[in-house]
Amino acid sequence: MRTAGALLRHELRLLASLALWLTRRTRVTDGGRAFGYTRGQGAMTAGLVFVCVIESLCMSVLLRDWPRTHHVVLTLDVYTVLFLLGLHAATVVRPHVLEPDALRVRRGAQVDLRIPLAQVESVRRELRMTHTPADGELALPVGSQTTVTLRLAEPVAHFTFLGRRREVSTVRFHADDADALVNTLRPLVEEVRRARTVPSTSPGPPA
C-alpha cells in the first residue's frame, strides 16, 4: 500500500507540474530566488517524445486489424508521452529555491529538501562525475554530475521516494549556474553564523 500511495502521489505531482509548465508558472516561494538545474535536458526529452510518437504511429499501422489491442497500445503510448513531459515539467517548475532563511534543494517531483541556513557549515563549488552511496550523504546528480556541495553542521531529515527517513549531513546537487548559487549562498550562511556568535549585550544599571 505504501508503494502504491507513493506512486500515486508522484503521478499527481507530475500532472500538476505539467499544468504549471503549460501556464509558465513555477513553484517558487515569495521572496525566494530560483536556481535551475535542467539546462540541456529539453532536447533529450524532445528526442524521447519524438521516438514515442513514431513508435505509436508504427504500432497503429501494425495493429490496424486488431482495434481493441490498438486502443490499449495507444493508451499506453499516450500515457508514456505524458509521463515524459511530466518528468521534464517537474524539473522546470520545481527549481532549487534560496529563501531568506533556508535553501530548498529539489529534483523534479521526487526530492524537496529544505535546509535551514543556520545548519549549513560550508558551501563550495565542486564538480563530481561519480557518486558512491555513503551513509549521511545525499547525492542528486543531473546528467551524472553534481556541481555544489553542502556540509551541514547538524544532520537534516530526508525522506526517500517510499518514505524511508535518512539523516544526511552532506548534500551534493547540480545547478546550472553553480557559481551564482554558491556566491549568493555563502554570504548568507556567514551572516547567519555571525549572528549566532554575537554575544548578547549586558543590561545597563538600573535607573
Report domain extents, the chain.
2-30+38-93, 96-197
Q: Could you give phi then psi for residue 161, rounded to 5 degrees? A: -55, -35
Please give the CATH architecture assigned to the domain spanning 96-197. Roll (2.30)
The tens place of each residue's pLDDT in the chain, 207 residues long, gives 677 888 888 899 999 999 999 998 988 988 899 999 998 788 888 899 999 999 988 988 899 889 899 899 999 999 999 999 999 999 999 999 999 999 999 999 999 999 999 999 999 999 999 888 889 999 999 888 999 999 999 999 999 888 889 999 999 999 999 999 999 999 999 988 888 765 544 444 443
Residue carrying the nine cell digits 500538476: 16
What span, in angstroms and rounded, lies between the C-alpha atoms of 138 and 87? 21
- Which residues make Cβ contacts (< 8 Å) with residue 43, sequence separation at least 6? none
Question: CA angle, 67 as apex, 62 and 71 as ends, to 5°?
Answer: 90
Q: Which distant-in-sequence residues (6+ apart) come within 8 Å of 9 by Cβ?
A: none
Confidence at residue 34, expressed as pLDDT on a 0 to 100 scale: 96
Residue 206: per-residue pLDDT:
40
Euclidean distance between CA atoms 73 and 79, whole angstroms: 10
* The three grid cell numbers given for residue 142, joined into one nine-digit string: 543531473
Grid cell for residue 27: 513553484
In this predicted structure, what is the pLDDT of residue 199? 58
